[in-house]
Structures are given as C-alpha cells and as structure tokens.
Amino acid sequence: MTKPQAIDVNPSFKENLPKEKFDELDSFVNNLETTRSALIEILHKAQKIFGYLPRDVQLHIARKLGIPGAEVFGVVSFYSYFTTKPRGKHTISVCTGTACFVKGSDKIIERVKEKLGIGSNEITEDGLFTLKDVRCLGTCGMAPVMMIDDKVFGRVKEEDLDNIINSYRNKEL
C-alpha cells in the first residue's frame, strides 16, 4: 500500500521567507534570456536561496512565469533533489541500498531515528539535522555507509553513532 507523497500544505511561511530572498530570485529570473524551459534551473536557484521549496516559493515561481502552480509542483515532486521541507543545518543520509542493508543499515537508521527523535525526511527540533534514507551512495565496499553533508562514514557500527552525531553537535557549542 502506498500513500500520496506526504507533502505538508504549509501554512504561510511568509514571515520566515524574507523579501530579500524573493528579490534575489526575481532578479535571477529577470536576467534569464528566456524563461521557456527554464523551470528546473529556476527551481535549483530557488532551493539554493531558500534552502527548500515551500508552497509560497513554488506559487511565486508559478505566477512569475505565468504557469500553473500544479505544473511547478509536478516538477518539484518528480525530482527527489527538490525538497519541500526545510533542511537541517546538516543532512544525515543513511544508505539502505542492498549491500548496506545486508550489512545491517536498517538497524543503523533505526538507532539514528531514536537518537535524533525524528523519522526519515524530518528535521530535528533544533534545526541541526535532517535525516534521509537514500539508496546506494556508490561505496558498497564500505557498507554500511552513511554520509553527513559531504563526509562519508564507512563500516558504521551502532556504538559509533553517538560519537559521530555529537561531533557535529559540539561544533555548534
């Protein structure tokens, strides 16, 4: 059984979405030679500016380009690169591909969920971490593998997790 992709119908985020960011996006769009076929490029830029693509940003782009909001959302929901939820400062990606799974990555991700108190694709209350379960990071020889931002952690053991996560927490202190 599968459910529609859970996408929060975000209440207006306007208070968290500063006008300067919209201005930055608008000037990017205005400087494009043409907006035809430029939707994906514009969405990339928007995600870079805002960190994610909330409803208001998608609607803003739709209206700016004169295309239906459903079309923008159709593209955003198609590509897994785009996210409609705010990301934490650090993204923890736990590989659940075949090799990692065989090496027990299911237990790793469960432990991470417990330690952070969140599920997959969720953000911790302090805004520090987002957890993602991903397929194959391309380093199966190091299974089970997880990544935090761009750093790869191989042959991860459950007992290592506290140290790894805390090293990022401590950076904030």
Per rule CB under 8 A, is residue 158 in the interface with other proteins? Answer: no
> DSSP label at 89?
S
Binding of residue 32 to other proteins (CB under 8 A): no
Strand order in the sheet with 129-134: 122-123, 129-134, 90-95, 146-148, 151-153
Residue 53 vs 161, nearer CB to other proteins? 53
Question: Using CA atoms, how far apart are residues 113 and 100, in angstroms rounded to an integer?
Answer: 17
77 binds other proteins (CB under 8 A): yes
Of 43, 50, 55, 133, which one interacts with other proteins (CB under 8 A)?
55
Residue number with CB closer to other proteins (70 or 173): 70
Q: What does the DSSP 8-state code read for residue 119?
A: -
- Taking residue 105's Cβ as centre, other Cβ atoms within 10 Å add up to 22
- Kindly list the residues in this chain that would bind other proteins in the complex (CB under 8 A): 1-5, 7, 9, 55, 58-59, 62-63, 67-74, 77-79
